């Protein structure tokens, strides 16, 4: 318990979190501080590139594990399955209509890669190892949740959601997935040799770049929060805190079942707990244009993301370490 608090404090006072807080504060205070769109997009390409490559190189180093397939499968199942829980909760807890509830649910089945990145950097600083292929699990979890959400909508209103071949291809081949999986594959192919060649680009400056990116995320989240003040009910906000706790518990179960390491279990919890704010929102604008974007963006980026970043990650890491044990 003391350990959790200790971990939480260390986490809260890390530069990474503090820059996020700075961003939120600056946006709420209406400062004109801003990161150019091109820079934000590039920082996010960098993070995908680095995290994918490092995951692949680590798989190359530690060998492929029987658990890899099980983990990928678990990821797909979780992503399909979590939206149903989220949808049920939303319909019970909040007054969101079917469409908005389904759109929100899609976000919680999918994942936030920055939350994942932040968690790996906490694990690293705690010297806790994790399976390199968890980054591939992250990629597997991006898309299935969208299908579940559209199915939930279609059940209620036959012409509610639009899913067609084009959209399916767009979702499966969206830039984040392609870069993450591609870098993972290249990392796996080129291994330690490849990693050494580019380590001073993707390893050494990583945390610093993450700080800058989280400053931007804080600015965007803070701007969003300023906009929606008072438009979203407390019950809806409560969902955005409850759902990651439920998600992470289910993720914990899957992680233990598969027999992952403490770090792997923690990451499985983080993935299940996190909510998408890039790929899914774009898909929702195409497939469910009538759903209100400010609801799902606020919950995912404005509430769940900061919750996971500050409280969630240290909690999941502590729980996973306590149950699995860190060697």
Which chain residues interact with other proteins by CB under 8 A?
32, 34-37, 40-41, 44, 166, 216-217, 219-220, 223, 227, 277-279, 281-283, 285-286, 289-290, 292-294
In whole angstroms, what is the distance from residue 43 CA to residue 205 CA?
A: 12
DSSP for 37-63 reads HHHHHHHHHHHHHHHHHHHHHHHHHH-
Using the rule CB under 5 A, give the single segment among 49-57, 62-70, 106-114, 230-238 that binds Na ion. 106-114
Find the shortest distance in angstroms from Cβ 102 to other proteins: 16
In whole angstroms, what is the distance from residue 303 CA to residue 104 CA?
A: 13
In whole angstroms, what is the distance from residue 58 CA to residue 50 CA?
A: 12
Cβ within 8 Å of residue 134, ≥6 positions away: 55, 71, 116, 264, 267, 268, 271
| 239 near a copy of itself (CB under 8 A) | no
Tell me the helix, strand and coil percentages in the chain, rounded to 5. 80, 0, 20
In whole angstroms, what is the distance from residue 2 CA to residue 36 CA?
A: 41
Find the shortest distance in angstroms from Cβ 44 to other proteins: 5
Q: Are 58 and 51 in contact (CB under 8 A)?
A: no
Nearest to 145 by CA among 195, 185, 109, 182: 109
Using the rule CB under 5 A, give the single segment among 131-139, 272-280, 284-292, 313-321 that binds Na ion. 272-280
Find the shortest distance in angstroms from Cβ 43 to a copy of itself: 9
Per-residue mark of binding to a copy of itself, 111-150 (x: CB under 8 A): --------------x-------------------------
| 238 near a copy of itself (CB under 8 A) | no
Which CB sits closer to a copy of itself, 202 or 319? Answer: 202
In whole angstroms, what is the distance from residue 290 CA to residue 297 CA?
A: 14
Residue 189 binds: one of other proteins, a copy of itself, Na ion, none (C-beta under 5 to 8 A by kind): a copy of itself
Cβ within 8 Å of residue 258, ≥6 positions away: 67, 70, 71, 74, 268
Q: How many residues does the chain have?
A: 327
Q: Are 243 and 108 in contact (CB under 8 A)?
A: yes
Find the shortest distance in angstroms from Cβ 74 to other proteins: 26
Find the shortest distance in angstroms from Cβ 35 to other proteins: 5
Nearest to 163 by CA among 150, 148, 149, 177: 150
Find the shortest distance in angstroms from Cβ 160 to other proteins: 11
Find the shortest distance in angstroms from Cβ 110 to other proteins: 12
Nearest to 107 by CA among 307, 326, 305: 305
Which CB sits closer to other proteins, 131 or 216? Answer: 216
Residue 14 binds: one of Na ion, a copy of itself, other proteins, none (C-beta under 5 to 8 A by kind): a copy of itself
In whole angstroms, what is the distance from residue 144 CA to residue 79 CA?
A: 6
Alpha carbon of residue 140 to chain centroid: 12
Per-residue mark of binding to a copy of itself, 45-84 (x: CB under 8 A): xx--x---x-------------------------------
Q: Contacts with a copy of itself: how many residues (CB under 8 A)?
A: 54
Residue 245 binds: one of Na ion, a copy of itself, other proteins, none (C-beta under 5 to 8 A by kind): none
Find the shortest distance in angstroms from Cβ 71 to Na ion: 15
Binding site for a copy of itself (CB under 8 A): 13-15, 18-19, 22, 25-26, 29-39, 41-42, 45-46, 49, 53, 125, 169-170, 173-175, 178-179, 182-183, 185-186, 189-190, 194, 197-198, 200-202, 204-209, 211-212, 215
């Amino acid at each position: 318990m003391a350990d959790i608090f200790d971990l939480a404090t260390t986490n809260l006072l890390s530069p990474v979190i503090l820059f996020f807080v700075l961003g939120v504060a600056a946006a709420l205070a209406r400062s004109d501080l801003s990161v150019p769109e091109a820079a934000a997009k590039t920082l996010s390409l960098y993070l995908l590139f680095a995290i994918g490559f490092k995951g692949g190189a680590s798989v190359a180093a530690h060998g492929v594990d029987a658990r890899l397939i099980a983990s990928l499968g678990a990821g797909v199942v979780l992503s399909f399955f979590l939206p149903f829980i989220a949808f049920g909760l939303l319909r019970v807890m909040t007054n969101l209509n079917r469409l908005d509830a389904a759109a929100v649910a899609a976000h919680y089945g999918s994942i936030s890669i920055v939350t994942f990145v932040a968690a790996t950097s906490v694990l690293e600083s705690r010297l806790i190892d994790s399976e390199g292929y968890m980054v591939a699990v992250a990629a597997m979890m991006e898309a299935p949740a969208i299908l579940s959400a559209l199915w939930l909508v279609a059940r209620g209103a036959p012409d509610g959601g639009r899913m067609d071949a084009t959209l399916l291809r767009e979702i499966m081949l969206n830039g984040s997935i392609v870069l993450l999986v591609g870098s993972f594959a290249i990392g796996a192919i080129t291994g330690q040799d490849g990693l050494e060649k580019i380590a001073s680009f993707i390893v050494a400056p990583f945390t610093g770049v993450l700080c800058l990116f989280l400053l931007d995320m804080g600015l965007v989240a803070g701007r969003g929060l300023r906009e929606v003040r008072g438009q979203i009910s407390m019950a809806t906000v409560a969902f955005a805190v409850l759902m990651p706790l439920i998600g992470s518990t289910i993720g914990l179960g899957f992680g233990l079942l598969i027999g992952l390491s403490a770090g792997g279990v923690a990451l499985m919890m983080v993935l299940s707990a996190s909510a998408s704010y890039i790929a899914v929102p774009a898909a929702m604008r195409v497939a469910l244009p009538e759903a209100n974007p400010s609801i799902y963006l606020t919950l995912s980026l404005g509430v769940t993301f900061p919750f996971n970043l500050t409280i969630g990650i240290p909690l999941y890491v502590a729980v996973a370490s306590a149950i699995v044990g860190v060697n």
